[in-house]
A = this chain, B = another copy of it.
């Protein structure tokens, strides 16, 4: 199938949000997405850009996306974080994930970062195998911690 990878435009955000919803469903959190198309447009394309986004386009359809931003490591300085790497279901196994990851790593390399990091669900073996095949280190002893909106409010009440 014919597709191309390019930087995202505002006009892509509606379809990117569809992919974000598709991923949330796959990750068993179908109701977790609160971000809107307008949020993605203002946050990604305003004067203070909060992320950088690549898309894979096939015809007029966005069939994959990679969304990144920089973080700060107290060990390595500026690092690049890959928040989402999404390939729509019907396009999996076509090499599209590799092409998107290529763009992400090239982008990080050009920024001169000493690390590119992301997170993966420990039961998502296809993703883990893919990342490890690309030389990434899945750190099974590091867990992610969240204090969510309710948690923040309860915490504040109890200070």
Give A contacts to B, CB under 8 Å: 20, 24, 29, 32-35, 39-40, 43, 50-51, 67, 69-78, 81, 83-84, 102, 105-106, 108-109, 113-123, 131, 134-149, 151-156, 159
Contact = CB atoms under 8 A, between A and B. Distances in A.
Main SS of the interface on chain A? Answer: mixed
Nearest to A29: B75
Q: How many copies does the complex hold?
A: 2
Contacts of A152: 105, 108-109, 113-116
A141 B116 contact: no
Contacts of A39: 77
Contacts of A137: 145-148, 151
Which of A67, A75, A122, A135 has most chain B Cβ within 10 Å?
Answer: A75
A149 B53 CA distance: 22
B156 A77 contact: no
